[in-house]
Amino acid sequence: MAMMMKNKGESFKMFFWSCLILCLGASVQGAGLKVEMELSAPVVREGGNLTIRCWTANTPHSCIINPPNKDYVSLTSGFKNATKDGVNYDGSNLERGECIARIPFIEEKHNGNWTCDMSAGLHSGLAVREVVVAKAPGQPQLELSRTEINSKYPYTYRKGETMIITCSVKTGRPAANISIYLGDELLPEENKPSYNNGVQDNSQMTRGTAKRTMQVNDNNKEVKCIANHVALKNPLESIKQRVEVWYEPQPIEEHPIQHYGFRIGHVETIKVEIDANPQPEFVWSVNNQEIKVGPYQNQRMRVLPIEPVGNGFTGKWLAQLEIDSVQKSDTENEYTLVAKNYEGTAAPYRIKISTSTEPESSGFGAVHIVGIVVAALALCLLVFIGVFARATGRWCFADGSTRNIGESDVEDPASSIKLLRFYKPKTGGANTTGERSDTESAGRYSRSEVDNSSGNSKKPRIIFSQLFRRNKDKVSGTDTDTMRTVVNVDDEKIPETIDVTQKINPCGLVYAELDLTQKELVSTPRRVSDDKTEYAEILYTKTEDKDTK
């Protein structure tokens, strides 16, 4: 008996160790082959197509692409192509470590996890990927937070209160994208969690919230939620909900309020539009005397009923005071309007009326005024730059050399003579004796004419015009005088004494310099009757001596 028990114990030990070795071998085999899996698209619509590709670096001898319903086909080297349940299996590249499943028409049953099992020798590997077949979500549902006031007046908030908007979209696969709007403004969402619906088709519900501190301009706006999804051709929109905001009567910028065009002897109405919600009460006063609602007061004035502006939800109301047979004295009265509602009372509105026509607006706003000021400043800057350049001899006013402020640009006035224009008359006769050339200047402020010959015959004279003039000396900064000298030049006797050089300054002005050199002149008799003298007008500047008054 003991022997039998001993044999059973040894058999159990052998069986245990054999199973352990087999499990370890299977684990080693599974870990030895790396399998990759790729989908042509992670999310596909029903009716679309999908390609599933599996591959490994080894050369497998089998490949199994298993759909969610487990109705698979095993591809081997001898069985490379098959079609089953609408899926085309392709193992033509199995020797290169690849197998493919093509689904030409996606259906709901293809949604779920697909596996790829490949074996190569004693090794095998497994890869898993989820195929999501898109499912359109349901209609977005909108929910607004409740406050003390909107428990009685639904979807109504006071100015400054916080409105919380919740939008939820059910049964979407994958989760839908939602957007919450107040009017045309997209509100930022604080959170957008997704929840599983708890069903087998892994569809999800999306819920998003947004907050808004209500302001006056939010009154009469609509709240809506829009859902976008890959399975939808057009977005889904929730039912719109219009919200109201309560606030006190708002002030009017114009003070006092001016009304023009009132006609003497006619029935005229003073109209004032007030922004308030809910509807306010109006109290009219003329010269501090209250005007009651109803028939004419003193047979001349009465308060008309309040009229809403627009559809009645805009928060704008029209207060009206009618005047029967307007008189001149009515234009001198002071009209006061007080508006109040549940949220508060506004400061009194003061109104003035006039029989004159309304003055036309100048059309100049703040932007126009700023533009004019900027243009004026730019013009002043340009003028300053021009004056500075002129005073310092820079840029367009430079004469080809660079000078600093306080540095003289003329060492010797005689050397700065500029020939502005030169003209030489043609003469037909030969040169005669007695002709000479005079280039002397007759004093600081004199204009000397050289070669005054006897006789009454007048010689032709060409006067050169001045192109530009410097009024300030760069050294002293005082006014200088322009000296004009008429030079008689005998072209046939001393042409070599005139050195004319053309220069171009940075502004493109062309001038010529006349260099007067001291040369020995040939003194020969001249004939007075010969009219061969040329004239040139020479312009140069000379700084006034400090001792000269």
Indicate whether 430 pLDDT > 90: no
Judgement on whether residues 242 and 336 belong to the same structural domain of the protein: no
Q: Residue 251 domain-assigned?
A: no
Residue 76: predicted pLDDT? 87
For 274, counting Cβ atoms within 10 Å of its Cβ (0-12 exposed, 13-18 middle, 19+ buried), the class is buried
Number of domains in the chain: 4
Is 211's pLDDT higher than 70?
yes
Q: Given this model, what pLDDT does residue 330 score?
A: 93
pLDDT over threshold 90, residue 362: no
pLDDT tier, 26 (very low <50, low <70, confident <90, very high otherwise): very low
Parallel, antiparallel, or unpaired: how do β-strands 349-353 and 257-259 relate? parallel
Instruction: Flag whether 394 is in a domain.
Output: no
Q: Say how many residues make up the chain.
A: 549
Which of 133, 164, 198 marks a domain boundary? 133
Return the bridge partners of 129, or none: 114
Same domain, 539 and 439: yes
Max distance between CA atoms of the chain, in angstroms, equals 177
pLDDT tens sequence across 161-193: 999 999 999 888 998 999 999 999 999 987 666
Look at residue 415 in the predicted model and tell me its pLDDT: 47
Evaluate whether residue 370 is within a structural domain. no
Question: What is the domain extent for residue 329?
Answer: 257-353
Asked if the model's pLDDT at residue 436 lies above 90, the reply is no
Distance CA 21, CA 357 (A): 109
CA distances from 488 to 177, 457, 463, 467 (A): 99, 16, 11, 21
Residues 428 and 543 grouped into a single domain: yes
Calculated CA dihedral for residues 418, 421, 426, 427, nearest 10 degrees? -40
pLDDT, tens digit, 9 for 90 and up, residues 81-119: 889 988 999 999 998 999 999 999 999 999 999 999 999
CA atoms within 13 A on the CB side of 432: 13
**pLDDT value of residue 452:** 43
281 by Cβ neighbours in 10 Å (0-12 / 13-18 / 19+) ranks as middle
pLDDT at position 9 = 53
User: Do 548 and 423 have their domain in common?
Assistant: yes
Measured in degrees and rounded to the nearest 5, phi and psi for residue 38 equal -135, 140
Residues 427 and 548 in one domain: yes
Domain identity same for 126 and 191: no
- pLDDT-derived band of residue 195, with 50, 70 and 90 as boundaries? low
E strands in 67-203: 73-76, 81-84, 87-90, 98-103, 112-120, 123-133, 141-144, 156-158, 162-172, 177-182, 185-186, 194-196
Asked if residue 309 is part of any domain, the answer here is: yes
On whether both 279 and 222 belong to a single domain, the answer is no
233 and 264 assigned to the same domain: no
- What is the pLDDT, as a whole number, of residue 188? 92
Is residue 2 a part of any domain in this protein? Answer: no
Least confident piece of the model among 110-124, 311-325, 435-449, 489-503: 435-449
- Would residue 265 count as lying in a domain? yes
**What is the rounded end-to-end Cα distance, in angstroms, of the chain?**
155
Instruction: Look at 547 and 208; give whichever has higher pLDDT.
Output: 208
Residue 59 within any structural domain of the chain = yes
What predicted TM-score, i.e. pTM, was given to this entire model? 0.57
Domain boundary among 133, 165, 182: 133
Type of residue found at 239: I
CB 116 within 8 A of CB 66: yes
The verdict on whether omega for the bond into residue 154 sits within 30 degrees of 0, i.e. cis, is no
pLDDT exceeding 70 applies to what percent of the chain? 63
Rounded mean pLDDT of 18-46? 71
- Please list, in sequence order, all residues whose beta carbon lies within 8 angstroms of the beta carbon of residue 350, skipping any fewer than 6 positions away: 255, 256, 257, 334, 335, 336
268/462 Cα distance (integer angstroms): 84
In a domain, 392, yes or no: no
- Residue 265 and residue 168 share a domain: no
CB atoms within 10 A of CB 535: 20
In this prediction, residue 366 carries a pLDDT of 67
Task: Classify burial at 32, counting beta carbons within 10 Å of its beta carbon; exposed 0-12, middle 13-18, buried 19 or more.
Answer: middle
45 with 63, same domain: the answer is yes
Do residue 261 and residue 235 come from a single domain?
Answer: no
* 183: CATH: 2.60.40.10
- 499 and 420 together in one domain: yes
Q: Of the candidates 85, 117, 133, which is a domain's last residue?
A: 133
Q: Is residue 426 very low, low, confident or very high in pLDDT (cuts 50, 70, 90)?
A: very low
- Portion of the chain with pLDDT greater than 90, in percent: 44
Give the per-residue pLDDT at 251: 93
Q: In this model, does residue 309 exceed pLDDT 70?
A: yes
Whether 44 contacts 104, CB under 8 Å: no
